Amino acid sequence: MTAGTSPVSVGFLGAGQMASALALGWKSAGLLDLPRCLAADPYPAAREKYAKSTGVRTVETNAEVLDVCDILVLAVKPQVMNALLAEIRPKLRAPHLVVSIAAGVTLKTLADGLGASTRLIRVMPNTPCLVGASATGYSASSTATPEDIALVGHLFDAVGKAFSLPEHLLDAVTGLSGSGPAFVYVMIEALADGGVRMGLPRDVALALAAQTLLGSARMVLETGQHPGALKDAVASPGGTTIAGLHALERAGIRAGLMNAVEAATLRARELGKN
């Protein structure tokens, strides 16, 4: 099984929001062997929501997923990961590649729970994979093959941008891009509220705010210019933009965003230790 070949058999253990986003993203990209793709979740409401949003089959037990699927995506909360590992370990077989998207759960924890020979890749994606714009970091165990690593890179590149990183940096990925969409949504909401305060209709203000962040992000990615240089190009001497930037600096926006990434990163490390 190598990147860029035929559609793959993926099974999700846990059918929450991230599992749904990835399944729909990969389905839209034509990467899934749909008859051999499943998601398991003990909660009927979660299974129903997943099936409705993705069109992919769901089952009640993890054993059914392991019987059918080659790639197992562990998509449960970190607090229940140990119980899941103990449950599935006796049912693992040689073709299984295990991919964990649980924040803070280390490769060592996964190997201890599933066996040292298990092929493992730890991944930290984010929910914009739903619209093909995910930002993902991943790290492989020494038992994963080059083909495994290429395949996972291919899957996550298909729904955004994926970066292979040393494992010790994945908690920082969690703090920046894993939690980052929530920080950005607050920014969009606040900008829209500012527009409303200044008289814009709510729907127009929200669309302008979201489009402004989208366009600005594309400028950074597509021009390759430093965001500081792009900022300077907008801020004319004595103009409106520099007045607004001064207000942001007085409010401590830089420190606030840096603190948010730090807090989320440290929380990811706590979850891994627990």
State the Cα–Cα distance between residues 101 and 111, nearest whole angstrom: 15
Task: Classify residue 2: in a domain, yes or no.
Answer: no
Q: Note whether 199 and 94 are same-domain residues.
A: no
Do residues 126 and 217 share a domain? Answer: no
Is 175 within the bounds of a domain?
no
Q: Are residues 112 and 199 in the same domain?
A: no
According to the model, what pLDDT value does residue 270 have? 86
The per-residue pLDDT for 1 is 42
| Tens-digit pLDDT profile for residues 172-205 | 999 999 999 999 999 999 999 999 999 999 999 9
Q: What amino acid is encoded at 215 in this protein?
A: G
pLDDT digits (tens, 9 = 90+) for 30-45: 999 999 999 999 999 9
d(CA 136, CA 172): 11
pLDDT for residue 40 = 96
* Cα 185 from Cα 209, distance rounded (Å): 10
Claim to verify: residue 154 and residue 198 sit in the same structural domain: no
Q: How far is CA 29 from CA 19, 87, 157, 236, in A?
A: 15, 32, 10, 43
pLDDT at site 96:
95
Mean pLDDT by runs of 10 across the 274 residues of the chain is 70 94 91 94 94 93 95 93 95 94 92 96 91 94 96 94 95 94 97 98 98 97 96 96 97 97 92 75
**Alpha-carbon separation of residue 196 from 43, 190, 203, 251 (angstroms):** 41, 10, 9, 20
Domain end point (choices 151, 170, 189): 170
Secondary structure letter of residue 194 according to DSSP: H
Domain boundary among 170, 199, 231: 170
Residues 195 and 264 reside in one and the same domain: yes
Question: Per the structure block, which two tokens stand in for 178?
Answer: 């894993």
> Do 12 and 65 meet the contact criterion of CB atoms below 8 Å apart?
yes
d(CA 23, CA 38): 10
Q: Which of 135, 136, 101 is nearest to 18 (CA)?
A: 101
Give me the pLDDT at residue 5, please. Answer: 60
Same domain, 157 and 65: yes
The CA–CA distances, whole Å, from 169 to 9, 137, 160 equal 29, 9, 19
Q: Output the pLDDT for position 2.
A: 45
Domain span at residue 189?
180-273
